[in-house]
Amino acid sequence: MLEIILDEFHYSTLWNGGILIYIGFIFIIYFLLLPQNKKYPVGKQIMFVAGMIAVFAALGSPINVIARIKYSYHIIQLVLLVLVAPPLIIIGFKIEIFEHAKKINILDKTLNFLAKPIVGFLSFFILFYTYHIASVFNFARLDLYINYFFMLALLIAGILLWMPIVSQRFLNTKKKQLYILFCILFFIPYSLVLLLSDKSLYLVYTDVELFMQSLTVCMPNIKELPPEFAAALLPFNPEEEQMQGGVMLLISQLILFGIAFFAASITRKEKIHI
């Protein structure tokens, strides 16, 4: 069914050229403009590229469109954007630019503030739960720029969340493992809400009119199409989609944070000075 639906979308709808261009600019800056050690590890560069590919998959690939039809794909977006991409980007980022930035007093204070574990933790989970309040989510999904603002903000907040986990500068092993456990615990309530809710939380997946408005962001000409078209795009049970999303989020975060928890106990004391 999903393949049949996607066949009706133009490739320019499924693949966001704008996001691809932005990521292309990031690669130009990363490889050509950012200062780096001549022996900068190729492995770290691969990590950074993989992180940006995860960002593109979340925001510029067909996943972004399908996420407006199936809620479980929105969870895939989230996993890629806040659990997969941030640690890869942090590991691969060329940190020499921060050494230059820290020479400027105001930037030094700003970076030191943002790097505090409590700042990253609170920023991420406040933003995460605010975005997923039903009224906020429904509103954001009906506007291209607001939705991308939230997605970009979640990515940045995700980087701040993962910074104390990936870096050896901020927390010792025991505190880092405790931090990871708190991250796991704070994801669980939303997963349980998705699993235990007996009705759809978000009208953009059930109300035909709002659903069509949501798709307008991806398909500007959808207003010219009859409501029957939108109804044909809603063959998926929203309650089942939410349950699947809850399972996916719960398992994904347990696996990824579990890997981080294990790595924290065996990693070398190599500091990332940010």
pLDDT in tens, 8-20: 666 766 788 889 9
Tokens of 81: 């954007």
A 10 A CB-CB count for 270 gives 8
- Give me the residue spans of the domains in the chain: 2-266
Cβ(212)–Cβ(230) below 8 Å: yes
Mean pLDDT of the chain: 86
At 110-147, the pLDDT tens digits run 888 888 999 999 999 999 999 999 999 999 999 888 99
Tokens of 184: 């796991």
Cβ(83)–Cβ(50) below 8 Å: no
Give alpha helix (H) positions in the chain.
2-6, 11-14, 17-28, 42-59, 62-66, 71-78, 85-92, 96-101, 105-114, 117-131, 134-140, 144-166, 173-196, 208-216, 227-232, 238-266
Cβ(167)–Cβ(120) below 8 Å: no
Which are the contacts of 231, defined by CB distance < 8 A and separation ≥ 6? Answer: 208
At 58-116, the pLDDT tens digits run 999 999 988 988 899 999 999 999 999 999 999 999 877 877 777 788 888 888 888 89
